[in-house]
Amino acid sequence: MMNPFVIVIFGATGDLAQHKLLPALYSLFKNKSFGDTFYIVGFARRELNDVEYRNFLDKELPYHTEPEWNKFLKNVYYQQGIFDEEVGYTELIKKLNGFDTQIGACITRVFYLATPPDNYETILSYLESTKLSEGCGQGSEKWTRLAIEKPFGKDLENARRLDIGLAKVFEERQIYRVDHYLGKETMQNMIAFRFANSIFEPVWNKEHIDNVQITWAEKEGVRTHSKFFDGIGILRDVGQNHLLQMLATVAMEQPVTFSKEGVRDARANAIKAIRCPDVSEIKDVVVRGQYREYRQEKNIMPNSQTETFIAAKLFVDTPRFSEVPFYLRAGKKMENEMMEIKVVFKQTCHILFKEYGCPEVGNVLTVRIQPDEGITLQVIAKEPGNNLHLNTVDMRFSYHQTFGGHGADAYEKILLDILHGDQMLFNRSDELESSWHLISTILEGWEIEEGSITLYDSQTWGPQSANRLIEKDQRRWL
């Protein structure tokens, strides 16, 4: 059974806390993933007390008919506070010390920054100045952890400044940079799938792989996140983390050991090996678009140049993947909801069967992250009949069909790992340095090409320039 813990959620009345963190914590509680002794403290500016915050959650979340919900709420508390005023933090200290007194020991403290990134530096400074970051006593800092949500900065310089601020207050072993995509079952399974099955390693290289396609697509627009999204854009919000992490699962070498640092070393090396284009080349290898209705959304500037779509052609400069193109795209208001990786193998069917005709694209390995998490392998087979006619068929594996479910929710897995002190699924500072170097170069290229954003129709696959990006290489999006 897990030891007692306290998790302080900064931004406790926001969307992330309400719709991700608290539901995940409640699910873990129902599944008996931790014991009855735990404390969840919401920290936000609204003037609420413990009972009023519980009532607020009771109205916002659909669990009030479940008997376990009331048991869970008894462990939920609230501390009113303004992020840039010390009084809330000093009152929080009293509350946390009271929990330690009840237990009779220093218990694990997790500070979860579920706030807009603009608040990170302020909260960190007060965690340091009030000594909240030091835990409840001498040597207890090893039981204190910080979880921080992406995006980790706005550009390379800003990310470095944030990282320096983190390092001043916490050691690297205490920092959990959350990219919830790394907590998804399919993303985790990529490591097992690649390295536990000997049939893939011999063909997982430039001799056999023609290209890799990574798609992150949402049917919805910015919805209620418009104020946060405008000025951030999908390159920072999705490209810097989700897309590059998906790329890394394909491109990484086998970890030396299946351990926290072994996996993070391999992932970091893959991201570091991504070839960074020159600023002058950005217009040729990166496409940015904006859906037509974007500037009519609430809280969006009428002349906004914030991108809601990107497509890019990248290379990973390793012996394994030298000159193999990685085509990435991400967008809102897309035709379908889809997050997946496609590894497209070279077409060799024509060597033996040229006179009979071969499908345009042969073997494709598809890893579906959502929806319907699973893996599909497209192979070529003979159609039934007297004549030889070849076509493609799919060999499918579905998490839901095979295991009766999709496994733990990504945030459930992430929260458990934080509480257990396991950093394998969390970004390390050197990973961020490499990814922001690439992203900042793209941003610099866009500044030179100011006004070059392309509008696209909703419920499509983005601007036509994204198709031209791949079609000029005699390929197409699959």
Residue 452: which of 316, 283, 296 has the closest Cα? 283
Alpha-carbon distance of 253 to 261, in angstroms, equals: 14
Distance (Å, rounded) from C-alpha 8 to C-alpha 43? 7
Whether 242 is catalytic is yes
Q: Choosing from 19, 208, 225, 242, which is the catalytic residue?
A: 242
How large is the angle between the packed helices 429-448 and 260-272, nearest 10 degrees? Answer: 20
Of the candidates 49, 197, 28, 43, the residue with the CA atom closest to the CA atom of residue 114: 43
428-431 CB contacts, 8 Å cutoff, 24+ apart: 428/172, 428/177, 428/264, 428/268, 429/163, 429/167, 429/172, 430/268, 430/272, 431/264, 431/267, 431/268, 431/271
Strand partners, 111: 8, 146
What is the distance in angstroms between the CA of the first residue and the CA of the last residue of the chain? 46
Burial of 12 (0-12, 13-18, 19+ CB in 10 A): buried
For residues 394 and 375, give the distance between their C-alpha atoms in angstroms, rounded to a whole number.
Answer: 10
Closest CA to 5 of 416, 472, 386, 315: 416
Which residues have C-beta within 8 Å of that of residue 14, sequence separation ≥ 6?
Answer: 44, 114, 115
- Please check whether residue 8 is in contact with residue 47, taking contact to mean a CB–CB distance below 8 angstroms: no
Stated length of the chain: 478
Q: In what order do the strands lie in the sheet with 364-370?
A: 390-398, 374-382, 364-370, 338-345, 209-217, 325-331, 309-315, 286-291, 454-456
Which residue do the tokens 């470095």 mark?
A: 160
CA torsion through residues 62, 225, 461, 342, sign? negative
Indicate the SS3 state at residue 215: strand
Who contacts 89 (Cβ-Cβ below 8 Å, separation ≥6)? 81, 126, 127, 130, 132
Cite the active site residues.
Answer: 242
